[in-house]
Amino acid sequence: MTTRKFNSFEYIGRATGPDPGGLHREDMFETPHGFAFVIAASQGEGEQEAGRTATALERIRYYLENETDDKVEEVSRNALMYTSGYLYQTYQKEAEGDLPPLSCLCVIVSDGKVHYAWVGNICLYVFTGKRMIPLSWTVAESQGPDASVAFMGEQPVVAPQFPTDPLIPVNEDLLLAGSGRSCELFCLKQTKKILQDSMPSQTKVARMTRLFDGEESEKQALALQMLRFYNLENRQRSFVTGQEQAAPRPKSSAIKEDMPGKKSKKQLPDMDMLQKIKYIAYLVGILLVGYMVYDLFLYDPKPAVNIPLVIETEQVGVESPDDTLSLAMDEPRALPEDIPYTVRGGDTWGRIYTQFGVCSWFIINHPPNTGRFGRDGALIADARLQIPVRYSSDPELNPHYYTEFTTEVVGASCENAGQELLDNFREMVQTQ
């Protein structure tokens, strides 16, 4: 069991299961977007499935720690999409049959808000002290009982499930995440009694995992995480339940609950106030227009003064066009900036070369793209690449240096693309 305390919440995590272990895993770490909490669980058996679960946690952590351009509302979903594509490229081709289902949950706590997304059979609840409220939902609830559940790595591109609004907790709220039989624990009356008790948080988690009786408990594999919030400035709880999110509805219908003893504030001014604001805005606009007309056409601070025209006979040097051309030619020719590109399902190196005219060797060895490919430089769906068009043979993308990378130079199949060609090009650019 892992326990840690932070400024605004306490974290307790536990994963159990039969040998070989590691089929259900949980992890917590800090990212540029906030603290991340991840659960990965496989319904299979054996060391290979334990390794696949470990790889899922590793790639989610890699994405969250390195991708800083994503919005915090989207980073959980994007991390799962990237990881699913990586698992598909790594394991699907080696599998002799269908791989066992693998589920993942990714939670980000940032500035008093909880953003989350999941793929497969993972559950997430918030306990308010009296109510156990589901935040996740099943595919059957959202798409019908005949809909099939998508799992990590089954397809090149997977669409994680995520809410339209984040959870905004208040002090003493408990966030519960789990896999396997732990999802059944959250719905038991005994669990509610344990969570309402004044015992330490780690004791609550230990007692929850012991709710399975006798030796049967040793055969159950599960992962469980609990967050207890405190020192929050939030005065109003806001959340979207699993049942409500499963059906299409307006974004503004997220449920909000006031803290006990706090009076709810009006969310919108009344109509009379809106009319007054409109009239004031109209009046201010009229005054501004009148002032501009007066200042431009009527107000004259000084009378006009006749100034005699004096013609200077001194010769002034004029720069000839030849001089201007020579100055322009002396300026160094700039290298074009990289072009960002997100790999799509079904992309090939040939298709990318047709679009940008850049050989795959330059893209794979471009420093910003380190760690964004599969084995042997295979493309991964939804990976974000930087295309170095400074090595492009397209004159529109590389107007000054495209002749250095034509097929006569790099070869019809890019067989000449390599470090020697790259070093020669850099030396040529530096000596200009």
Q: What is the pLDDT along the chain (432 residues), one digit of tens a residue?
A: 888 888 899 999 888 776 556 788 999 999 999 999 999 988 888 787 888 889 989 999 999 999 888 888 899 999 999 999 888 888 776 666 678 888 999 999 999 899 999 998 889 999 998 889 999 877 655 555 555 678 888 888 888 988 988 999 999 999 999 887 778 788 888 888 889 888 888 888 888 877 764 444 455 778 889 999 999 999 899 888 765 555 444 443 455 555 444 444 444 444 567 778 888 998 999 998 888 887 777 766 655 555 555 555 444 444 455 554 444 455 667 899 999 999 998 899 889 999 999 999 999 999 999 989 988 888 998 999 999 999 999 999 989 899 999 988 888 888 988 898 899 998 888 887
Give the integer Cα–Cα distance in Å for 267 and 276.
18
Provide the pLDDT for residue 272. Answer: 62
Instruction: Please state the φ and ψ torsions of residue 318, each to the nearest 5 degrees.
Output: -115, 130
Give the integer Cα–Cα distance in Å for 58 and 264.
44
Token pair of 195 as six digits: 């969570």
Question: Residue 135 is which amino acid?
Answer: L
Question: Are 401 and 394 contacting, i.e. CB atoms less than 8 angstroms apart?
Answer: no
Provide the pLDDT for residue 246. Answer: 54
Helix (H, G, I), strand (E, B) or coil at 133: strand
Token pair of 372 as six digits: 């964004």
**Who's near 335: CB < 8 A, 6+ residues apart?**
390, 400, 401, 429
Provide the pLDDT for residue 429. Answer: 87
Pinpoint the alpha helices (H) of 210-270: 242-246
Token pair of 321 as six digits: 């066009």
Give the integer Cα–Cα distance in Å for 340 and 56.
25
- CA-CA distances (angstroms) from residue 214 to 57, 186, 220, 224, 291? 31, 19, 11, 20, 86
**DSSP 8-state assignment for residue 389:** G
Token pair of 37 as six digits: 């909490």
Provide the pLDDT for residue 98. Answer: 75
Angle subtended by helix axes 201-209 and 189-196, to nearest 10:
160
Provide the pLDDT for residue 356. Answer: 93
Query: What DSSP line would sit under 9-42, residue for residue?
Result: EEEEEEEE-SSS--SEEEEEEEETTEEEEEEEEE
Give the integer Cα–Cα distance in Å for 120 and 137.
10
Give the integer Cα–Cα distance in Å for 8 and 112.
8
Residue 150 has a CB neighbour count (10 Å cut-off) of 18
Question: Are 25 and 40 contacting, i.e. CB atoms less than 8 angstroms apart?
Answer: yes
Segments making up each domain of the chain, as ranges: 2-258, 339-431
Instruction: Please state the φ and ψ torsions of residue 226, each to the nearest 5 degrees.
Output: -135, 135
Question: Residue 4 is which amino acid?
Answer: R
Specify whether domain 2-258 bears CATH 3.65.10.10. no
**DSSP 8-state assignment for residue 168:** B
Length of the chain: 432
**DSSP 8-state assignment for residue 228:** E
